[in-house]
Amino acid sequence: MLVLLAFIIIFHITSAALLFIATIDNAWWVGDTFSADVWRICLNATNCTEIGYDFDDYATMQVVQATMILSTILCCMAFLLFLLQLFRLKQGQRFILTSIIQLLSCLCVMIAASIYTDRRQDFHAKNKHLYSQTWGGSYGYSFILAWVAFAFTFISGLMYLILRKRK
């Protein structure tokens, strides 16, 4: 039972770490000389432009930013709630509240990655002054980590739903 508990804790911490990296790091769209994410566009190591109000379709990019931040916060809250429930639940009860919060985190990261996947070409087309040198790129590791974090948080949420507290 202790091994299962350790696995669940490590799995959840890994999910949170993936969410932090995917949210913070500048690698959602990358090429040989540039990188772009939901926060800024870097044409080289020293020439970075923050995505701000002058960005066309900025409201959509803010949705991606907000849902990624929210998913990270919810994942951390679910972990703290799991630790609390570990000591407060009665024997035989399920970790339903932890599961719900973790599945909400899963939903948020899915929304963010889906919107970015769908709207990326529109972002580039409407903001040619920023993305003029980024046409030859591909999805970067932060984008892929966001989708991996989606899978991890989903599996983690299901584990909490099935899991019962034992002695």
In tens, the pLDDT along 23-40 reads 998 889 888 888 888 888
Average pLDDT, the chain: 89
Domain positions in the chain are 16-164
Question: Which amino acid is residue 12, in one-letter code?
Answer: H
In tens digits, what is the pLDDT along the chain, a chain of 167 residues?
A: 688 889 999 999 999 999 999 999 888 988 888 888 888 888 887 888 888 888 888 888 899 999 999 999 999 999 999 999 888 888 878 889 999 999 999 999 999 999 999 988 888 788 877 777 777 788 999 999 999 999 999 999 999 998 876 76
Taking the domain 16-164, which CATH number applies?
1.20.140.150
- Separation of alpha carbons 105 and 5, rounded Å: 21
pTM higher than the cut 0.75: yes
Please, is 143 exposed, middle or buried when counting C-beta atoms within 10 Å of its C-beta (0-12, 13-18, 19+)?
Answer: buried
pLDDT tens per residue across span 96-119: 999 999 999 999 999 999 999 998
Determine the pLDDT at residue 123: 82
What are the Cα distances from residue 94, in Å, to 85, 97, 142, 159? 9, 9, 33, 10
